[in-house]
Amino acid sequence: CNMEQIFPPAFFDVMEHLAVHLPYEVELGGPVHYRWMYPFERFIGYLKGKAKNIVRVEGSIVSGSLSQETSYFTEFYFPSKVRTRKRAAKRYDDGGVGRSYPMEGVPDIFSSVGRLGGCIKEVWWADEN
């Protein structure tokens, strides 16, 4: 680094030294999203999850990928009542009634799918309270 010829070495800690070299790295490599390895690491982790046979890893990954693709494309030939990954139930759907409010005119944001937990009890407040 040319700055070490001007300033003493005690002046530099990591932050000053890094600020000197970062513009040069950007000039060499371009924008960071072209050099970012995160998507590739995620995909390799996804492929590693398919490897079940440690002796023949490549064949195991191919076999897992083929079985997943086959199951994905055969989902379209099932009847509509069969639940598949593409036609999965909503997150909080436990197979209960469609609306939890018997009143009409309640916005959809307040009508959740599911069953009530416990027994229904009516409570009336007195005017004194």
- How is the chain split into domains, by residue range? 12-45, 51-87
Confidence of residue 119 (pLDDT cuts 50, 70, 90): confident
The most confident of the ranges 29-38, 77-86, 117-126 is 77-86
Q: What is the pLDDT of residue 105?
A: 75
Tell me how far apart the alpha carbons of residues 10 and 108 are, in angstroms, rounded to a whole number: 65
User: Which residue, among 90, 114, 89, has the nearest Cα to 100 in the 3D structure?
Assistant: 114
Crossing angle for the helix pair 57-74 and 38-50, to the nearest 10 degrees: 90
- Residue 61 amino acid letter: I
Q: What is the pLDDT of residue 36?
A: 81
Averaged pLDDT for residues 25-36: 79
Contact 60, 51 (CB under 8 A): yes
Percent of the chain at pLDDT above 90?
16
Contact 106, 96 (CB under 8 A): no
**CB burial class (10 A; 0-12, 13-18, 19+) of residue 104?**
exposed
Read off the pLDDT of residues 53-93 as tens digits, 9 standing for 90 and up. Answer: 889 999 999 999 999 999 889 988 988 888 888 887 777 66
CB hemisphere CA count around 45 (13 angstroms): 6
pTM, whole model, 2 decimals?
0.45
101 has a pLDDT exceeding 60: no
